[in-house]
Structure 1
Amino acid sequence: MSESLEGRIAVITGAASGIGLAATRALLDQGATVVMVDRNRDALNELAADLGEKAIAQVTDLLDADSCNAMVPEILSKVDHIDILYCNAGTYIGGDLTETTPEAIDRMLNLNVNAVMKNVHAVVPHMSSRKTGDIIVTCSIAGHYPTWWEPVYSGSKWAITSFVQGMRRQMIPHGVRVAQVSPGPVVSALLADWPEENLRKARESGSLIDPEEVADAVIYMLTRKRTVTIRDMLVLPTNFDRV
């Protein structure tokens, strides 16, 4: 049985493209108001203007400590409460560990792990005081399987799996549901460093999914009745490598 999202207020990070934009559109279609968080001011303003009055732009650089810490207070100055926090922003590093740099590792962990923890830390008191709320995080199949071809990325997503599933249990007494969605390879900017030939082969073989498929999974999770929690949803291309 599904519940309506009409009138709910959602916050989505990384909302200017990819999964975040697809989720924004899906939630707006369900009647929710969406605060779109991204560091790309121009893209946010253009999208918010196109999407209508229920799309609210929030410029935040999650890699800047002050900007990240100010996100939730700034959002609560624009809307009177937050029903849904969807921590979706992230970045990708593929290849062997020796092929990356310490600076790239820091950036990935700061965005994929630290920013998520800080965003959740900021919103938990607000949701706990209201005795309701949903927190969803974009994880990955790489957070469940030792993907040796992308150990830095995989390590960040294993950390998120542990964090989300711990917080899920911690927040049960407060009426707040915490969960994750774990896609396989998605057609998005995260695959920008894939060799063109690899992308072409993946598209042709049906080994990539569209962002809208992940957004559909998120909507399913959010529309379950409050006595039901979807801990995680793995959304994979049918022809994805057999992991």
Structure 2
Amino acid sequence: MNELQGKVAAVTGAASGIGLASTEAMINAGATVVLVDRDAEALDRVCGRLGDRAVPLIIDLLKPESCASLLDGVLAKAGRLDILHANAGTYIGGDLTETNLDAIDRMLNLNVNAVMKNVHTVAPHMIERGSGDIIVTSSVAGHFPVPWEPVYSASKWAMTCFVQTMRRQLLKHGIRVGSVSPGPVISALLKDWPEENLRKAKESGGLIEPKEVAEAVLFMLTRPRTVTIRDVVILPSAFDI
């Protein structure tokens, strides 16, 4: 399967979880993938396993200068950019009154601001080339007000709006914009889930694997250019929200 043969993708938060699974799926489909992450050790380990079409790019998206270097870094390493999967994010759950204020800033900066900045950075390159794909990792929490995660859910609602507005701004330039919105995924983000919620999800089979989200991403990327998959909500069949 070489549906992405010759394409160059950049994936943020690529060293683990959904980002890593998305990277693996794109490489298997023929793409060269620039793995964007701040964890240099994890990037070296992953890229060593994945081979020559996995290219590491160390960026801390929470540092403005580093975040702004994304396109320059990709072009320096791969020469072009066809696909951006803006995947990096973090999670806060629980009562708002018990949430650390610095944690709120960090989460909103990563889940919202960094995504907007990344799209702002890469869009001119894609506009000049007249083609491109931008996919944002959102969440089912961006489509339903989840009462035990008010900050996280609000950040993903922001992404739902951002994707729908940017799709309209960029479609005339041949650029497709969409989001994939998983339910609970087995990943490091779940470490912050309320213990009781996590226990119930595990017992009921209410979790999905990152590779299942990656398959949805690949589906979005491999549709004919006349088709945009704007929103994919992918849930464990046993998940009830």
1:238 matched residue in structure 2:
237
> Secondary structure of 1:134's partner?
strand
Distance 1:195 1:157 in 2: 19
Q: Percent sequence identity over matched residues? A: 63
Kindly state the Cα deviation for residue 87 of structure 1 after the two structures are TM-superposed. 0.2
Kindly state the Cα deviation for residue 136 of structure 1 after the two structures are TM-superposed. 0.2
Task: Give CA deviations for 1:70-105 in whole Å, capped at 9, x if unaligned.
Answer: 121111111111000000000000011111021111
Preserved contact between residue 92 and residue 190 of structure 1 (Cα < 8 Å) = yes
Distance 1:196 1:145 in 2: 21
2:54 matched residue in structure 1:
55
Structure 1 residues 68-217: aligned runs within 5 Å: 68-196=67-195, 198-217=197-216
Distance 2:114 2:142 in 1: 17
Distance 1:75 1:84 in 2: 11
Preserved contact between residue 15 and residue 42 of structure 2 (Cα < 8 Å) = yes
Preserved contact between residue 2 and residue 30 of structure 2 (Cα < 8 Å) = no
Task: Give CA deviations for 1:15-43 in whole Å, capped at 9, x if unaligned.
Answer: 00000000111111101100000000001
The aligned amino acid for 1:233 is V
Preserved contact between residue 3 and residue 225 of structure 1 (Cα < 8 Å) = no
Matched length: 241
The aligned amino acid for 1:73 is D
Distance 1:68 1:79 in 2: 18
2:223 matched residue in structure 1:
224
2:24 matched residue in structure 1:
25
Distance 2:135 2:193 in 1: 27
The aligned amino acid for 1:133 is G
- What are structure 1's unaligned runs of at least 5 residues? none
TM-score computed with the length of structure 2 as normaliser: 0.97
> Secondary structure of 2:33's partner?
strand
Kindly state the Cα deviation for residue 200 of structure 1 after the two structures are TM-superposed. 3.5
1:13 matched residue in structure 2:
12
> Secondary structure of 2:223's partner?
coil
Task: Give CA deviations for 1:37-86 in whole Å, capped at 9, x if unaligned.
Answer: 00000010111111000000000000011110112111111111100000
Preserved contact between residue 94 and residue 194 of structure 2 (Cα < 8 Å) = no
Task: Give CA deviations for 1:113-150 in whole Å, capped at 9, x if unaligned.
Answer: 00000000000000000000000000001001111110
Instruction: Write out the 4+ residue segments of structure 1 that deviate beyond 2 Å after TM superposition.
Output: 194-201
Preserved contact between residue 180 and residue 231 of structure 1 (Cα < 8 Å) = yes
Distance 1:70 1:148 in 2: 36
The aligned amino acid for 2:86 is C
TM-score computed with the length of structure 1 as normaliser: 0.96
Distance 1:148 1:204 in 2: 21
